[in-house]
Amino acid sequence: MLQFLKYVFATIVGIFLFTLLSFFLLIGIGAAMSSSDTKTTVASNSVLKLDLNQVIRENAAEEDPFTEILSGGNSPGQISLPQIKEALANAKIDPNIKGIYLKAEYPMGGLATLKEVREYLLDFKKSKKFIYSYGETMTEGAIYLCSVADKSYLTPQGGLDFNGLSAEYPFMKGLFDKIGVKPEIFRVGEYKSAVEPFFLTKMSDANREQTQSFISDMANNFYGEIAQARQIPMADLNNILNNALIQEPADAVKYKLITNVGYWDEFEKELRKAIDNKDDKKIEYIGLNKYLKADKLVKEGNNSNRIAVIVGEGDIVSGEGNSENIGSEKIVKELQKARKDSKIKAIVLRINSGGGSALASDVMWREVELTKKVKPVIASMGDYAASGGYFMAMGCDTIVAQPTTLTGSIGIFGVIFNAEKLMNEKLGITFDGVVSHKYANSPSATRTMNDAEKNMIQNGVNKGYENFTSKAAKGRHMSIEKLKSLAGGRVWTGTQAKANGLVDILGGIDVAIEVAAKKAKLKEGDYRVKYLPIKKSSFETIMEKFSNDQEESKLKAYLGDFAPYAKQLKNLQNLDKIQARMPFDVVIK
């Protein structure tokens, strides 16, 4: 009887939770549908509020009406580069928009992504309209973006981060030693350091050399642009960084990184002057999401002439993938559709990936090769287009990268984790069984492999490296000897890759689109840009976010600050045997 009551109670609770979730989903769907149909009217003398305290993605999904509910208000929103570009291009010629209030205290994007945003802001300034920024804190990325502002305010007691760039790798050998797991490593290339965290406790000399090289080059570009915008000699800026002279907001004003220290009321007073609001009336702010629903003033080109931008962002995996990774099947389908669509005259393959499955990368390379026989295919690199990400790009007609893009890392590795000691000695679990043939259970994670088994895997890695380098040499019209001298797993910045021939042109997505148009013989203003895959609907975003947030919140609840490392370990389960991936996780601060 007691067991029966337990089942009844569990059923009632389940029905209640399902009903509650359905109720919220219906509200969200209704809100999304009504908001998507509502056209925004822009009041005269308005200020566009550009909130960049969000994750800046290549092609974010539609606005999620459940962000606050599902995340408890602790999860940052998402914004896409195309949305920012569209809004700023429209605001530039909109007579009702007098300027921009830039809210960028901790923008969440890589250096190449932030450079794209900064270029859009600089283009907006050609209109002679103002950009004013205000923040309670400012990260390095915020200072970089706000360096283009006419006035930049930071509260008197605000936090400030301005001390240089650093790269950090987590090393797991100590953990594996403690729990009794031995990684069997197979790789080609002195600089292919993605596997180093598994068997070392610190960086190898080769990895330290390449990391110092690309960090220094990125810093020269990043701080060089700040110095130029703020009219600070580069030697003076390096002195500021090396001696940690920026400790509080007043220091930032003293050394000309920002223009003002002040509170919100003081900032709004400046805004009122800029928009000639003498009567102390409420300032008409308009957010980006609402502004995107206002009248489009930028003329669209010929709908029969399109340039497709196919976006690939995240780790490379086989199959369909999802919004967090690049599925080879999905990219192949998009390339096939674009190839057969007579309205699409050229394709830009936008890549933001540190790599992943070598097999999936090769599958996508093949589709690029087939597609460029029909119409131009241009690669545009974001923050990363390394290893498998470079594999995607190397077959394209032209490769465009930002100076701070991390690319190259042409190399292959494989890892098999031997958990025999963990199972036998730590957990008391042993394994036994039979096989029909000698290598039927090879490779195995529950026993030590013999030399013949290890050689088979290493041969596969060697073969993968030869495949990668030979195709890269062909795509770059370079001898195999020259290509291999640049390979070996070494990571390069976009600037370095342009100098050594792995990249053709320095620039962002707009430059890549211009190159595609020129190759397709399309005149400026005579074409439209179409982003693919089509963005997820609000409903799809809600369902995916609900699923992802449950997993993320559980990890964080149990492990706190160690949750990211647990996630990395979990991701190891999804690795193919052979990977084309850049150094495991480069955290640039």
What distance lies between CA 444 and its chain's CA centroid?
Answer: 34
Catalytic residue among 133, 323, 387, 538: 387
Structural Rg of the chain based on CA atoms: 26
Report how far Cα 159 is from the mean position of its chain's Cα atoms: 26
CA 146 from chain centre, in angstroms, equals 21
d(CA 35, CA 290): 9
Contacts of 90 (CB under 8 A, 6+ apart): 291, 294, 296, 297, 298
Q: How far apart are the first and last CA of the chain?
A: 60
3-state secondary structure of 399: strand
Per-state percent for the chain, helix, strand, coil, to nearest 5: 45, 20, 35
**Exposed / middle / buried, residue 466 (Cβ in 10 Å: 0-12, 13-18, 19+):** middle
Spell out a b/e string for 493-504, using b for 16 or more CB atoms within 10 Å of the CB, else e.
bbbbbbebebbb
Residue 279 CB: number of other CB atoms within 10 A?
Answer: 6
CA distance 79 to 62: 9
Which of 342, 408, 338, 340 is closest to 377 using CA atoms?
Answer: 338
Active site residue 192: yes
Contact 62, 32 (CB under 8 A): yes
Work out the number of other CB atoms within 10 angstroms of the CB of residue 381: 31
What residue type is 210 in one-letter code?
Q
Catalytic choice (85, 129, 192, 471): 192
Whole-number Å distance between alpha carbons of 214 and 495: 9
Catalytic residues: 192, 387
